[in-house]
Amino acid sequence: MRVGVISDTHGLLRPEAVDVLVGCDLIVHAGDIGKPEVIEVLGALAPLQVVRGNNDLKLPWAAQIADQQRFEMGGWQVLLVHDIADVPGALDEGVRVVITGHSHKPLMDWREGRLFLNPGSAGPRRFKLPVTVAVIEIQGEKLVPLIIPLLR
């Protein structure tokens, strides 16, 4: 199973990001979507899990989008929230992957057998931070995350 992970598009869905996400079995958007068209395009590529970010809170079209999602991908239980500050201190033991956004800083960190993944920002460049997405390859008990730079 191939999972594409994107965040902080802020209304800009770059063609380079779409190119990476084409062919994924699932796409996960970790919030700060910006425009409903982003969701429409991503949802046409693959099944989609999405949460709203802090910048989406004031957008009427995003009112029905949850702040937190829990779902399974390839047998792995996932917690999806926009801001890592909203991750509970005591996570359910079943959660093996935590996906966040918000900081615009890509992160892949294994903590006590759990993957914490932030794909970084795929939208407008912020400061000198990279523009990135992530892909997770899942093969049973093997999970391999990869951060992919979109701009050089």
Question: Residue 107 is part of a domain; what is its CATH number?
Answer: 3.60.21.10
- Largest alpha-carbon pair distance within the chain? 40
Predicted confidence at residue 152, as pLDDT, reads 67
**8-state DSSP, 120:** -
What is the DSSP code string of 23-68? T-SEEEE-S---SHHHHHHHHHHS-EEE---TTTTT-GGGTTS-SE
For 17, the enclosing helix (H) or strand (E) is: helix 15-21
- CA 79 to CA 116: how far, in whole Å? 10
- CA 80 to CA 66: how far, in whole Å? 10
89 has a pLDDT exceeding 90: no
Predicted confidence at residue 107, as pLDDT, reads 97
Predicted confidence at residue 92, as pLDDT, reads 86
**What's the pTM value of the predicted model, to 2 decimals?**
0.96
| Boundaries of domain holding 118 | 2-149
Predicted confidence at residue 90, as pLDDT, reads 83
pLDDT, greater one: 9 or 89: 9
Percent of the chain with pLDDT over 70: 99
**8-state DSSP, 124:** S
- CA 28 to CA 46: how far, in whole Å? 10
Q: Name the residue with tokens 């899942």.
A: 138
* 24-49 tens-digit pLDDT: 999 999 999 999 999 999 999 999 99
Predicted confidence at residue 123, as pLDDT, reads 95
Q: How confident is the model at residue 50 (pLDDT cuts 50, 70, 90)?
A: very high
Predicted confidence at residue 47, as pLDDT, reads 98
111 has a pLDDT exceeding 80: yes
| Domain count for the chain | 1
- CA 144 to CA 141: how far, in whole Å? 10
